[in-house]
Amino acid sequence: MKWDKVAGNWTQLRGNVREKLGKLTDNDAVILAGRRDQLLGQIQITCGLKPREAAKALQDWGVLK
């Protein structure tokens, strides 16, 4: 198994937990951070990128600042 895929799965799991925590506490910023983590994880898995490369790709696309 590739470690990039493992890291992507972990990032998605962390994002899912953050999103649920945000919903539980009614905190929109935490919900959005969780969704961002889930997106980063999916990009890591799909494209086979490292975490920093995936974040850089989102910045290049204009999704993250």
| DSSP letter assigned to residue 32 | H
Reported confidence tier of residue 29, pLDDT bands at 50, 70, 90: very high
pLDDT of residue 65: 65
pLDDT at residue 1 above 80? no
Q: What is the CA radius of gyration of the chain?
A: 12
Mean pLDDT, residues 5-31: 93
pLDDT of residue 51: 85
CA 12 to chain CA centroid, nearest Å: 5
| DSSP letter assigned to residue 63 | S
CA 8 to chain CA centroid, nearest Å: 8
Place of tokens 């506490």: 25
pTM given for the model = 0.82
